[in-house]
Structure 1
Amino acid sequence: MDWASISRALHSSAPLPSPSPLFDPHRLDAAAAGDIDAEFPDPALIEQARKLPLHRFDWYKEVPNQPWPVHTPEDFDHTTLLSPSDPIPWEDWDTKAPVAHRVLHFSAAEIQHIHNLAQPSSTDPQVSKHDALLAHIWTRINLARQLPASTTTYLNLTFGLRPRLSLPQNFLGSPIMITAIPTILSSSSSSSPPPLFQTASTIRTHLQAFTRSAIAAVLHDAAYEVSPQRLWRAFLGRKHVLQTTWVGAGATEVHFIGGSASPKLRFVKPEMGGDGLVLVIEGLGENEGHWTANGADVMVYLEKGAMERLESDEGLWGGGVV
C-alpha cells in the first residue's frame, strides 16, 4: 500500500506521503504469556502450547530418501537441547513431480450455495463462507489425489495474529500461525466424501482453539526454542494442503498510477509453487460489501495428474456436493 501511494504521488507530481511502518518486535514479545526472560520456561504454558493442533516437523532429523542433505549442527543433541519434534514426511512429497497451476473462480452465488450446504446443526459452531469454501476445495483435492482409505490428510491453515493480538495494521513482519487440521478418509471417500458441514465445522473448531491465551502460550514456548527455524509448521505433497488467504489484505485495491484514467487492476498472482498450495483472494469487480460480492479466486497448485482429475470433477462446481 505504501509503495503504491508513493507511486501515485510521483505519477501525479503530488506531495509524497509519509509512510509509517512500525518495526517493534517487543509488541509481539509482550503478547507472550509468563516471563520469557526467566531462566527456564513455564511447564504449564509449554504443555498448553503443545496440545494445540500444530505440526512440529524437524528439519534437523534425517530420514531416508530426503531430497537434499541435512546438516544438523553438531552441538545439538535431540535428547537434551531440542524440544520434541517429528521427522519430515518426505515420502509423501515427490518434489520432482510436475505441478500444474489453475485459478478457480467461484461466483458470489456459487459461494453462497456452498455456504448453505456447509451450515452445521445447532450444536456445532457456525461456519463462515471462508470456512465453507476451504472445506469444499480441500474435499475435492482429497478426492482428486485418490488416496487410500483411512489415510490421514491435513489442511495446514494459515491465519493472522494482528487481530487476535491487537497488533496495528502497519506492524512490520509476518505475524502468522499455521494450524494442522486433520481428516481421515473413509473407505467410501472416493464416491461419498464426508458431508461439507462436517469438514467446515472441523475447520472452525480448530481455529477457535487459538484464543488469545492459547497464542500467548505458543509465543512463550517459541521464546525458549533453542533452534526455532528447524521446526516446520506445514508441509506439501499428497497428504497436505497448505492454504493461505489474501482476503481482507487489500491486494485488489492496490493502484500504482491513480487518477480518473487509472487502469483497473486486472489480475493478482502469487509467486508460489509446490504440490498442495492453495490461495484464496477476493474476485475483481465493481460490487461492494462482503468480500465475496465479486466472487473469489482460488489459486491451486497440484501434481499434474491430480489437477487433471480435479478439473474433471463435477462436484467441484456443485454437482454431487453434499
Structure 2
Amino acid sequence: MGCLAVQVTKFEDGVTAVGVQIAHCLADAISLSRFVHDWSATHQSLITNTPVPELSPIFEPWLLNQRAAKSADDVVPDESVLKIAYELPLHRYDWWASGEESGFGPGAHKIPEVLKDEPRALELARDAEKMPWDTYDVQAPVSHTIIHYTSKELERLWSAAATSPDIYGSAKAGISRHDALVAHIWTLVNRARGPENGDVDSEVHCDVTIGLRTRVSPPLPASFLGSPLQIINTALPWSVASSSPALSRIAVSINATLSRFTPAAVGAQIYAIAHELAPQRLWQAFLGRKHLIVTSWAHTRLYDCDFGTGETPRYVHPIMPLVDGCLQIMEARPKNGKMPGGRWYDDGVDVAIYLEKEAMNRLVQDKRIWR
C-alpha cells in the first residue's frame, strides 16, 4: 500500500482540482504543503521552460531522536528526565487497556503477538489512564462547517482576549491571535455541547497539536519532512471554558500550556517516548463531548502555489475525518490572488469545525460566533 496518493480532476469548464493524500505518520501539514510547493514549482519550470528549482527536502527521522534529553540507548531510563516528561500537560490514554468499552469490536485493541507475554503490556502504561468512552458516541452523526473570520474580526477577538480586565495582568501580553481564536471557538463548542450530565464543573479539554521543528534544540530545518508533532492538553471547568466573558482566562490558559513545551521539556518527552514499550498505544487526545482536537495549517501558504498557469488556487480545502470534535485553522484565500508577505491572517482565517450533528446545529445558531 502506498503512503501517498495524488488525484488530478479536470472539469468541463476547464477548472482543475488537485487532491493529495498522505499517511499522517509520515507527514504533517508542513510536510504535505512543502510537497505541494515543490511539485508546483517544478511543474511551473517545465511549463515555462525555466530552470528547475533545486529542491532540498530532508527526510531523516533520526534527527528528531538526536534532540532527546539523553541517549535513547540507556538500558535503564533516567528517572529525573522521565519525571519532567510525565509532568507535561498532555494526555496519556492507553489504547490497549481501554478496549472493553470502545464499541469497536473484539481485536481492535489487541496487543501485538510479539508483546503479548510482556508484563508491561498487560497493565496500564505508566501514568496512563483509560479512555473515557462514555463521553464519546462513535456512531453519532457528525456535521462539518467552515466559519470565515476577517482580519478585522480576528483583531477584535484578540483585543477582547488581551485587554479584558482580570487577574492575569502581564500574562496576557503573550497571547497570540491564534490563542484568542482557539479560545473563542472552544467556548462556542462547549456551549453547543452543554455540560456533561449537567455538571458545570466537569473538566473539558482543548487538545492542541503543536509542531516540534522549532521547539527542539537545535531547531530542525524548515525543510525537515515527517510528522514531528505532540498534542497538548489545556483543561478547564466547563463553566469557564464555555464563557465568552472568560475569553481572556481561556486564552491565557492555552498560551500557558504552549509555553511549557520548551526545548528542554520537549527533549525530555522525546526521551520518554523512546523508552515506552510501544508509544503507539498511548493517545494524546480524544474525541467526544469533553474534547476538542485543534490542528493548525497556518503559515503553509498553499494559496501561493502556481503549477505554471499563472493562476493560484481558487480554494484550498483540507479534508479531515468526520469525527466529533475536530478544529482546523488555516489562512483564507487572498483577495488579490497572491498571499501578502506580512501576517498569516492578513486576508482572514478559515476555521473548519467537525462536531456531532445536534451540537453543530446549536453552534451555528449561536449569535456570539463573531462576538
CA distance in 2, matches of 1:62, 1:113: 43
Match of 1:86 in 2: 129
- For structure 1, the residue ranges without an aligned partner over 5 or more in a row are none
- The one-letter code sitting in structure 2 at the alignment partner of 1:141 is V
Picking from 82, 90, 110, the partner of 1:71 is 110
Matches within 5 A, 1:167-246: 167-186=220-239, 192-193=243-244, 195-246=246-297
Tell me what 2:33 maps to.
none
Match of 1:123 among 157, 160, 170: 170
Identify the residue that residue 362 of structure 2 maps to in structure 1.
309
Structure 2: how far apart are the matches of 1:35 and 1:299? 40
Structure 2 Cα separation of the partners of residues 189 and 2 of structure 1 = 41
How many corresponding residue pairs? 313
Q: Counterparts of 1:111 and 1:62 in 2: how far apart (Å)?
A: 40
Structure 1 residue 200: Cα displacement: 0.3
Are positions 1:4 and 2:55 aligned together? no
Matches within 5 A, 1:40-119: 40-68=76-104, 69=106, 70-73=109-112, 74-78=116-120, 82-119=125-162
Q: 2:70 aligns with which of 3, 27, 34?
A: 34
Greater helix share, structure number: 2
Q: 2: CA distance between counterparts of 1:174 and 1:249?
A: 15
Is the contact between residue 33 and residue 217 of structure 1 (CA under 8 Å) also seen in structure 2? yes
Asked if structure 2 preserves the Cα contact closer than 8 Å seen for 1:81 and 1:226, the reply is no
Determine the C-alpha separation between the residues in 2 that align with 1:159 and 1:284. Answer: 23
Normalising by structure 2, what TM-score? 0.80
Q: Distance in 1 between matches of 2:280 and 2:89?
A: 19
Q: Structure 1 residues 130 and 195 mapped into 2: Cα distance closer, same or farther (>3 Å)?
A: same
Partner letter of residue 96 of structure 1? Answer: Q
- Deviating more after overlay: 17-26 vs 219-228: 17-26
* Residues 1:23 and 2:59 aligned together: yes
1:281 aligns with 2:323: no
User: 1:141 corresponds to which residue?
Assistant: 189
Counterpart Cα distance in 2 of 1:87 and 1:194: 33
CA contact (8 A) 2:215 2:263 kept: yes
CA distance in 2 between partners of 1:309 and 1:80 (Å): 41
> How far is the alpha carbon of 1:115 from its aligned partner?
0.5
Residue 153 (str. 1) matches residue 204 (str. 2): yes
Q: Bigger shift: 224-233 or 17-26? A: 17-26
Q: Encode CA deviations 1:257-300: one digit per residue, 9 max, x unaligned.
A: 34xxx233121112212111111101111362211211100011
| Contact 1:156 1:240 (C-alpha < 8 Å) held by counterparts | yes
What is the one-letter code of the residue matched to 2:328?
L
Return the offset for 1:81.
Answer: 9.4
Distance in 1 separating the partners of 2:47 and 2:241: 55
**Corresponding residue SS for 1:86:** coil
Which residue, 277, 286, 296 being the options, matches 2:349? 296
8 Å Cα contact 2:94/2:125 also seen in 1 = no
What amino acid maps onto 2:236 in structure 1?
Answer: T
CA contact (8 A) 2:305 2:312 kept: no
Per-residue CA shift, 1:58-95, capped at 9, x if unaligned?
11113443121321232233477943311122222111
Aligned equivalents of 2:245, 2:118: Cα separation in 1: 43
Preserved contact between residue 92 and residue 238 of structure 1 (Cα < 8 Å): yes
Asked if the contact 2:68–2:271 (Cα under 8 Å) also holds between the matched residues in 1, the reply is: yes
Q: Is the 8 A contact 1:266 1:284 kept in 2?
A: yes
- For residues 253 and 83 of structure 1, what CA distance do their matches in structure 2 show? 45
Check conservation: 2:304, 2:312, Cα contact below 8 A: no
CA contact (8 A) 1:82 1:227 kept: no
Work out the CA distance in 1 between the residues paired with 2:123 and 2:364: 49
Q: Which moved more, 1:305-314 or 1:247-256?
A: 247-256
Greater than 4 Å deviation, 4+ residue runs: 79-82
How far residue 11 of structure 1 moved from its aligned partner, in angstroms, is 2.6
Percent identity (aligned): 36
| Paired residue type of 1:77 | P
Q: Which runs of 5+ in 2 are unaligned?
A: 1-36
Secondary structure of 1:48's aligned partner: helix
Q: 1:157 & 1:50 partners in 2: Cα distance?
A: 18
Amino acid at match of 1:146: G
**Farther off after superposition, 11-20 or 140-149:** 11-20
Question: Which segment drifts farther, 59-68 or 31-40?
Answer: 59-68
Letter in 2 for 1:39: V
Q: What is the CA distance between 1:184 and its match in structure 2?
A: 0.6
CA deviation string 1:5-62 (max 9, x = no partner): 1221233243433322112222211111122212111100001100000110111113
